Structure 1
Amino acid sequence: MSDRVVLITGTSTGIGLAVAAAAVAAGYRTVATLRNPARGEAVRATGADVRQLDVTDPKSVADCVSGVVADYGRLDAVINNAGASVLGTVENLDMSDIRRALEVNFFGVVEVTRTAMPHLRASGGRVVTVTSVGGVVGQPFNEAYCAAKFAVEGFMESLAPVAATVGVGVAVVEPGAVTTEFVANAGIDPARAIAEAGPYAPALRAYIDRTLGAYTAGQTAEDVAAVIMRALTAEPIVFRWQTSDWARDFVGAKLGDLDGSAVQGTMAGWVS
């Protein structure tokens, strides 16, 4: 892999940081990007080339991708990992919160992918996008986040057969709960969120109690990174990857639940 160049978004912590380390260890020339380079100390320590990229800023995306191609002469893979959490139900969220979730988690993925495609066509490259089990199963108090991840799944599933005709592989990776800083980075104060939830407070309390426990017992970022690397290198390419047995069971229940009753029954248990 010594001549192969991979660009990864959202690498300051968690999954992105672990993937950058794994890509470097596998011999890729690894470009690790993040919105704020001041937070890049940990990823620099992996040996990756750290660059600024804000997925919500088209100029930032264009400048980063063109800079990588100018410096390395090629781009072989993009790993879309940057994301942001939004906790709350529609009545209590501002529209700005919902739009922000779509900008980071969906439109940012589209912008990076769109900008990289000509270079991936030239190299016969690959796009691997970190979605979530929340891109298949809608979850309480995650309307905005799941909407964005559902959109990513639909976009990539539709793109995959078209991209294949020009030699570009497309895959999505669906983690469940991961013991990273993702929840902390969402800026959620559980006590305050419950206090401000009004009639939804009992359901939100039940959801937060259940979810904090799930993240405590979740996978490590390194476990997820190992699956992402398999998605990056598998021949022939496989479109959809879950990162654990739990994620496979959770997603599988939805895909076989034609009338939606099984998923609705499970989700009801999360808020009661």
Structure 2
Amino acid sequence: MSVKTVLITGTSTGIGLATAVAAARNGWHVVATMRDTGKAGALLAAAEAAGVTVEVKPLDVTDPASVRDCLAGLDRLDALVNNAGAGHLGTLEQEEVDDVRAVMEVNFFGVLHVTKAALPLLRAAKGRVVTVTSVGGVVGQPFNEAYCAAKFAVEGFMESLAPVAATVGVAVSVVEPGAVGSAFVSNVGGRDTVLDAAGPYTPALTSYLARTRDAFAAAQTPQDAAAPIVGLLEAERPAFRVQTSDAARAFTATKLSDGDGSAVQTMTGAWIA
């Protein structure tokens, strides 16, 4: 059998980097993408240490031309992992609506741009789409209004797309990490500025930040978070919804009773079978 190809977005650090290396170790041809390929050093070093190779390509998920250029170079594609994203801290009264739009561009519309461009290749390969969302795509969290809104949107879009894509042989899944020890949180800019300007929200924000520090003290590693993603790439019948840790499962269980998404998919799939 020919080697299968997976394209992974946001691979310069964290879950994306770990997924790229793990998939390559499992025999996949990995197209590892990132906005700035000058930041590929950590990925390439990790791949070399693991004794594997990955193909690095530039991709800005918010730029349709960049997406088209990246996908145009592929002859086949068996799987797409939408991992690129950005956190955001703030609350509505104290930020501009344009700030919220910017969060949606990266975390929601970026996923749509890449998935839309990939679907013709994925249909041809009877492949799959795996999108990294968050436990924040299930449970809304204080001072994460824009981020959670974007992740809720991704989950709703993919849950709606899944039965439609299944009719043409493409499996769709979402992955919900909780706290992961990576650069993702440190890359959320402006925390001190937001706290300094919090005004009447200062006590609530201070409490939230303390809780977040405690949660990330027990964070899982990017490698542990990547394992379920690679599992979805290789599963014969991938679940629609997967959490990456016991903590994430317990957290989302406060809202979800259909833990793996099978009941919703069975119901909506029957509507169009």
TM-score above 0.5? yes
Show the counterpart of 2:267. Answer: none
| Mapping for residues 13-162 of structure 1, pairs under 5 Å | 13-45=13-45, 46=47, 47-67=53-73, 69=74, 73-162=75-164
CA RMSD of aligned residues (A): 1.3
Deviations 1:145-194 (A, max 9, x none): 0000000000000000000000001000000010111011112333x322
Letter in structure 2 aligned against 1:185: N
Scaled by the length of structure 2, what TM-score is found? 0.90
1:201 matched to 2:207: no
Deviations 1:29-75 (A, max 9, x none): 100000011111112231210010000000000110111x1xxx211
The answer on whether the counterparts of 1:156 and 1:172 sit within 8 Å (CA) in structure 2 is: yes
Scaled by the length of structure 1, what TM-score is found? 0.90
1:182 matched to 2:184: yes
Residue identity (%):
61
Show the counterpart of 2:243. Answer: 242
Show the counterpart of 1:164. Answer: 166
SS at match of 2:30: strand
The answer on whether the counterparts of 2:88 and 2:189 sit within 8 Å (CA) in structure 1 is: no
Q: Which runs of 5+ in 1 are unaligned?
A: 257-272
Show the counterpart of 1:8. Answer: 8
- Point out 4+ residue stretches in structure 1 off by more than 2 angstroms: none
The answer on whether the counterparts of 1:179 and 1:219 sit within 8 Å (CA) in structure 2 is: yes
The answer on whether the counterparts of 2:89 and 2:191 sit within 8 Å (CA) in structure 1 is: no
- Shift of residue 96, structure 1, vs aligned partner: 2.2
- Shift of residue 253, structure 1, vs aligned partner: 1.0
SS at match of 2:129: strand
Tell me how far apart the structure 2 counterparts of residues 238 and 36 of structure 1 sit (CA, whole Å). 32
Deviations 1:99-154 (A, max 9, x none): 11100000000110000000000000000000000000000000000000000000
- Shift of residue 2, structure 1, vs aligned partner: 5.6
- Shift of residue 94, structure 1, vs aligned partner: 1.7
Letter in structure 1 aligned against 2:72: S
Tell me how far apart the structure 2 counterparts of residues 216 and 248 of structure 1 sit (CA, whole Å). 18
Q: Which runs of 5+ in 2 are unaligned?
A: 48-52, 258-273
- Shift of residue 86, structure 1, vs aligned partner: 0.8
Tell me how far apart the structure 2 counterparts of residues 2 and 83 of structure 1 sit (CA, whole Å). 31
Tell me how far apart the structure 2 counterparts of residues 159 and 44 of structure 1 sit (CA, whole Å). 34
Residues 1:142 and 1:189: Cα distance change in structure 2 (over 3 Å): closer
Letter in structure 1 aligned against 2:20: A
- Shift of residue 217, structure 1, vs aligned partner: 1.2
Tell me how far apart the structure 2 counterparts of residues 42 and 49 of structure 1 sit (CA, whole Å). 14
The answer on whether the counterparts of 1:15 and 1:224 sit within 8 Å (CA) in structure 2 is: yes
